Amino acid sequence: MNLRDAVGLTDSSLWLAVRGLQLLLLGIAGYAVATLNFGLVVNAVLPLLVTLTPEFVAWRYDHTMSGGLALWIATAAFLHSVGALGPYKWVGWYDQVTHTLSATLVAGVGYALVQALDESSDAVDFPPKFRFLFIVLFVVAFGVVWEIAEFASGGLASLVGGQAVLAQYGMSDIVLDLVFNGLGAVAVALWGTGYFDGVATVLSRGIAGVFGRQES
């Protein structure tokens, strides 16, 4: 399945949008440095690095990601960075939007992982129901780890002073985050796994190269 066809744009247009988001992230990082806002620096630089995932995959594994998937990654990273500027506090639903979008990418990674394991060995065969459950649980587990990181960030900030790198807004926020993480996971598990088949193929080659293909 081609995400470029789904959004109705040419691949070059999608990559142009990716570069635009990367420039905006670079601008946010520059603003964070100029204002000595360490938390914002982290929340701009790390997302910017995430948007370079397609370049890393092309360099390391000689695989070109589609412009649509690259834009998907860049949009999730950009929205998180923008949220750190204030919308996470000002707009009640903004956090849920970013969590849902980010969860779809985590779900894609979970699918790619289980698909790669299936492709790289004849000794295993994961049925569709298992893959669905694995994707959802993979996202839920990642979400729990993220919430723990938010609490840890807040605790560290209270000990050493300064602003927490990751914001946490209480128990109700945690519940909403996990619910919308789950919605993103289910959406990908039901309708979006095809967008990550290329990633699964890359992982499959890597697994086969490290461990060798296991024959049944």
**pLDDT for the residue 16:** 97
pLDDT higher than 50, residue 215: no
If asked whether residues 210 and 127 sit together in one domain, one would say yes
Tell me the C-alpha distance between 168 and 164, whole Å: 9
Task: Compute the residue count for the chain.
Answer: 216
Number of domains, the chain: 2
If asked whether residues 128 and 35 sit together in one domain, one would say no
Fill in the DSSP letter of residue 196. G
Q: Residue 81 burial by CB count (10 A; 0-12/13-18/19+): exposed, middle or buried?
A: buried
If asked whether residues 98 and 67 sit together in one domain, one would say no
**pLDDT for the residue 204:** 86
CB neighbours of residue 190 within 10 Å = 10
If asked whether residues 109 and 198 sit together in one domain, one would say yes
**Which of 84, 113, 142 marks a domain boundary?**
84
Residue of 205, 192, 184 lying closest to 2 (CA atoms) = 192
**Predicted confidence (pLDDT) per residue in 174-194, tens digit:** 899 999 999 999 999 999 999
State mean pLDDT over 39-63.
Answer: 94
Question: Per-residue confidence at 216, pLDDT binned at 50, 70, 90?
Answer: very low
If asked whether residues 46 and 141 sit together in one domain, one would say no
If asked whether residues 30 and 73 sit together in one domain, one would say yes
pTM of the model: 0.88
pLDDT higher than 70, residue 46: yes
CB neighbours of residue 164 within 10 Å = 16
Q: Which residue's structure tokens are 């959802």?
A: 136
**Which of 68, 84, 100 marks a domain boundary?**
84
- pLDDT above 70 covers a percentage of the chain that reads 90
Tell me the C-alpha distance between 196 and 192, whole Å: 8
If asked whether residues 5 and 77 sit together in one domain, one would say yes
> What counts of helices (H) and strands (E) characterise the chain?
10, 0
